[in-house]
Structure 1
Amino acid sequence: MPIDIVQQDTIASHIKRQCSPQPSVIVIGAGISGIAAARRLYDASFKVTVLESRDRVGGRIHTDYSFDCPVDMGASWLHGVCNENPMAPLIRGLGLKLYRTSGDDSILYDHDLESYMLFNMDGHQVPPQMVTEVGDTFKRIMEETEKVRDDHPDDMSVHQAISIVLNRHSELRKQGLAHEVLQWYICRMEAWFAADADMLSLKTWDQANVLSGGHGLMVQGYDPVIKALAKDLDIRLNHRVIKISNGCNKAMVTVEDGRNFVADAVLVTVPVGVLQANLIEFIPKLPDWKVAAIKDLGVGNENKIALRFDKVFWPNVEFLGIVAPTSYACGYFLNLHKATGHPILVYMAAGRFACDLEKLSNESTVNFVMLQLKKMFPGASNPIQYLVSRWGSDPNSFGCYTYDLVGKPDDLYDRLRAPLGNLFFGGEAVCMDDHQGSVHGAYSAGIMAADNCHKYILEKQGHMENPPLVSVRHEILETTIPLQISRM
């Protein structure tokens, strides 16, 4: 019986697919966005090579084990402990535990107020009732900034909007210790964005699409997630990319020692700070609209100083805060002992203050932090070990995560994530649904870029039917096991 036309076309398509070379992709950056993209394409039988400038994987996720326990010196929270979080299947499948620091879905607070203890610069505890009352005032002030936004068509900074609110409503002004507590609340808000209030866009500061379920600290660190995604991938460490040349059919990537790598497509997931520093040459040059999008995005900075002690001498609360006359001078410690059982405090600094700390040596930084701690607890012992992050001056990052500058164009993120032929872009800055600055945002951006790259290459090879990408590894993890989250 003769073969009909449809059968002939099907057989021809099958033969063509079998004869087609294996699609190849180079992923630049082994942070979670890069390895999520690489994992996605590898599971789709693509030839994937990951080029990473550091001597480790993870990027701005870095779980340190030198304290004989995991300490995240970069990202450490899952923001949105719910099944809708794209990271949930992976975290569930790995059996990782989360410690709930807040059930509040607001971006004003990512930790519960009742687990704080605040002190003034003289070391006296702030009365809890005052903390609560000033917290209510702070909420009212931030709600009033919405009216300021409605009254002013042009964008302004959050700091300027707060000043307008306080001029309109003198009853919201605070004096003395209450003013210092208010500054501490502003400091906490600034820490969410890793930038000072005078840099934040009033138009968009509260428009983030925060997932439900509150915030969970990764008790075992993010390292198990990174290792699971990176398993079996071809990752080349200490490969600093200096040039990307892309043509119609192939792209070539040059690393610092002069070696070249060629593939069908390139997926760029390096931090925006690195792109802003022009450390990678693009041939042909990036179009002006792409360069402007990169330039118009703010890159925040947040650093951690982790201190390990021989014993616990502080109260059993999650956060210890220091109030001061300005938000710049406020500070806070995360108590890892409450969440993990290890005698560790982590001092956290954001914005300009984080940048200024990087100008000090590690020893001077620790001495400064210990001065703050000894104001609260005069009998505090000295740490037996310490770790200091320097994300702002790190040439592999030049900052932590992105935020919206005042006057940001509305189409900035669309231009950031837009591919250029066989050149695709991932990373936390280009994620959809306003999840910039989060691990799940970076992860989903990598998946999105991989899917777009997959579709592009298959269409170039003539495969018009484009089956959706489904990772076998992720299918296995799609279980009904709930996320393991608890609170002591």
Structure 2
Amino acid sequence: MEIKDSISDHFLDGTSAPRSKKKHSSSPTVIVIGGGISGIAAARILHNASFKVILLESRDRIGGRIHTDYSFGCPVDMGASWLHGVCNANPLAPLIRCLGLSLYRTSGDNSVLYDHDLESYSLFDMDGRRVPQQMVIEVGEAFGRILKETEKVRDEHTNDMSIIQAISIVLDRHPELRQEGIAQEVLQWYICRMEAWFAADADMISLKSWDQEHVLSGGHGLMVEGYYPLIKALAEDIDIRLNHRVAKIFNGCNKVMVKLEDGNHFVADAAIITVPLGVLKANLIEFEPKLPEWKNTAISDIGVGNENKIALRFDNVFWPNVELLGIVGPTSYACGYFLNLHKATGHPVLVYMVAGRFAYDYEKLSDEAAANLVMLQLKKMFPDATEPVQYLVSRWGTDPNSLGCYSYDVVGKSEDLYDRLRAPLGNLFFGGEAVSLEHQGSVHGAYSAGVMAAENCKRHLTERVGGLEKIQLLSFKGEALDATVPLQISRM
């Protein structure tokens, strides 16, 4: 039904909210908006604490920017696929252990490639010629020294600049670090891999902040069975409403009303908003009263990057048994790489990955054109390459349910942006990867942000209601998780 203006006015001043004679006749109710891992984590916490929870998701599936596709006959993550920090300190480790999910480690700590080591790779130039391994190692060492020198540039300048500007300054000061010919193209490939970590071009990435993230120890690992089993387990028994697109949120004195695109609405004691930052940036959800300027500034000033995948399934494996197949080029835009899922999972699948402006340009192509463009390069590298029997193309940047992949620090950002973004507003609480305390852009960061939002919401409602019985928070599925059981990690 349509919400009349007079009703919403009364709702906002609290006069339409029915006042119960008995304070504690029912458990508090919470609406969670967004069915990604952050929203599901928030709903899980509140559900286990005996709150009444409804989760609203605009898509026809749960998971958000986690999307494990099974159309190849095997799991392929078209969104998030790595666990960043394969260690017990990762908040997802207990759940992964409990479910018996296995990981394939692709790097140790401090890898110059961030989520890959240089132990298992093959690089090729644009004409398909193999780049000598020793050259890749030497250029990688030079890239490490260049990045180290950018710390001095940062210390010398009060104003922020992009990481690519800092690299240019370093190369002017240290001409011995400059690369020529094919070595210069390899250097551009390293910059391309750096851009993939942030899902943004190097001229958009903040020098002040790029290396300040607290990365958990243990390196990085692929979820061999995909992320969906974890999402499915977390979502068990939660009241989830799919294809429920939120259009407007009314934040009243003691209640929240959430209006859907179809005119229907829900009322609760509080709401947790975990929609992607890109959706908030696009103002696809209206707030009444309007969000304060300090909140809107935080939303607008945090960057959102884009990264896409073109997954190709073949009948046979015609490529070498390495984890990574890279393409070097004259600019980072021209570079790229294939993740070899056959190495990690045994399935004949290659996943081409593009980030930043290149990712948006790929979204302008049809699925067929994107797959054909990738195959042109693959056939240069391997003349005997066969045609794929299936392909999948992600479009996170233009998907109206995401409008980007994950957040990153833009040049010159204010240091308190994330604090402002995560700050509650009355009965509204905010989750999602962008509000993580230390791990923006990661699955475990999104999960932790959802848990944090739920705990803050629970505390707020408990204090407001007063006298609410303190319920022992149940662990996942009500069972104790044995931290002595190791994570199942392989590296072939």
Mapped partners of 2:339, 2:215: distance in 1: 22
Counterpart of 2:270 in structure 1 is: 265
AA aligned opposite 2:491: R
- Report the CA distance between 1:469 and its aligned residue: 3.6
Amino acid at match of 1:454: K
User: Is the partner of 1:135 in helix, strand or coil?
Assistant: helix
> Which position in structure 2 is the counterpart of 1:228?
233
Check if 1:278 corresponds to 2:283: yes
Taking structure 1 as reference, are residues 342 and 331 closer, same or farther at Cα in structure 2, changes over 3 Å only? same
User: Equivalents in 2 of 1:372, 1:474: separation in Å?
Assistant: 50
Which residue does 1:477 correspond to in 2?
481
Report how far residue 475 of structure 1 moved.
Answer: 4.3
Alignment partner, residue 3 of structure 2: none
Measure, in 2, the Cα distance between the counterparts of 1:232 and 1:386: 34
Q: Distance in 2 between matches of 1:150 and 1:331?
A: 32
**In the alignment, residue 483 of structure 1 is paired with which amino acid?**
L
CA distance, structure 2, for counterparts of residue 314 and residue 20 of structure 1: 65
Give the match for residue 466 of structure 2: 462
Q: 1:410 to 1:77 in 2, by over 3 A?
A: same
1:207 to 204, 207, 212: 212
Q: State the TM-score, normalized to the length of structure 1.
A: 0.95
Q: Secondary structure of 1:114's match?
A: coil
CA distance in 1, matches of 2:161, 2:104: 37
Confirm whether residue 487 of structure 1 aligns to residue 483 of structure 2.
Answer: no
Quick one: structure 1 residues 287 and 107, their matched pair in 2 at CA, closer, same or farther if it must change by over 3 Å?
A: farther
Give the superposition deviation at 1:103. 1.1
In 1, the alpha carbon distance for the partners of 2:89 and 2:294 equals 33
Which residue does 2:56 correspond to in 1? 51
Assess if the C-alpha contact under 8 Å between 2:310 and 2:394 holds in 1: yes
**Alpha carbons 1:20, 1:461 under 8 Å: kept:** no
Aligned ranges for residues 318-467 of structure 1 at < 5 Å? Answer: 318-432=323-437, 434-463=438-467
Counterpart Cα distance in 1 of 2:210 and 2:259: 38
Contact map agreement 1:90 1:474 (CA 8 A) in 2: no
Q: Which of 303, 313, 334 pairs up with 1:308?
A: 313
Structure 2 counterpart of 1:68, from 70, 73, 85: 73
CA RMSD of aligned residues (A): 1.4
Preserved CA contact (<8 Å) 1:107 1:206: no
CA-to-aligned-CA distance 1:58-101 (integer Å, 9 cap, x gap)? 00000000001100000001000000000000000000000011
Q: How far off is 1:464 after superposition? A: 7.8
Amino acid at match of 2:475: S
Provide Cα deviations, 1:387-412, integer angstroms capped at 9, x if missing partner: 00000000000000000000110111
Structure 1 residue 378 displacement after superposition: 1.1
Q: Identify which range, 463-472 or 165-174, moves more after superposition.
A: 463-472
State whether residues 24 and 465 of structure 2, in contact with CA within 8 Å, keep that contact through their aligned partners in structure 1. Answer: no
DSSP-derived class of the 1:142 partner: helix
Partner secondary structure for residue 154 of structure 2: helix
- 2:118 aligned residue: 113
Cα shift readout 1:176-224 (whole Å, capped 9, x = no counterpart): 0000000000000000000000000000000010000000100000010
**In 2: Cα distance, 1:75 partner to 1:309 partner:** 22
**What letter matches 2:342 in structure 1?**
H
| Residue in 2 that maps onto 1:127 | 132
* Separation (CA, whole Å) in 2 of partners of 1:147 and 1:242: 47
Distance in 1 separating the partners of 2:165 and 2:84 = 28
Q: Which blocks of at least 5 consecutive residues in structure 1 are unaligned?
A: 1-15
> Structure 2 stretches of 5 or more lacking a match?
1-20
Whole-Å Cα distance in 1 between the matches of residues 249 and 157 of structure 2?
A: 43
* 1:401-429 deviation line (CA, Å, top 9, x unaligned): 00000011011110000000110000000
Give, in angstroms, the shift of residue 19 of structure 1: 3.7
Amino acid at match of 1:124: R
CA shift digits 1:291-319 (9 cap, x unpaired)? 00000000000000000000000000000
Q: Aligned pairs, how many?
A: 472
User: What is the CA-CA distance between 1:108 and the residue it aligns to?
Assistant: 4.3
Given residue 481 of structure 2, which amino acid in structure 1 is its aligned partner? Answer: L
Cα distance in 2 between the residues matched to 1:315 and 1:385: 20
Q: Distance in 1 between matches of 2:476 and 2:22?
A: 21
SS of corresponding position for 2:338? strand
CA contact (8 A) 2:188 2:335 kept: yes
Which is worse superposed, 194-203 or 371-380? 371-380
Asked whether the equivalents of residues 106 and 115 of structure 2 are also in contact (C-alpha less than 8 Å), the reply is yes
Q: Give 1:248 deviation, angstroms.
A: 1.2
Q: Which amino acid aligns with 1:484?
A: Q
Name the % identity: 75
Distance change >3 Å, CA 474–CA 127, structure 1 → 2? farther
Structure 1 partner of 2:172? 167
2:385 alignment partner AA = A
Displacement of 1:379: 1.2
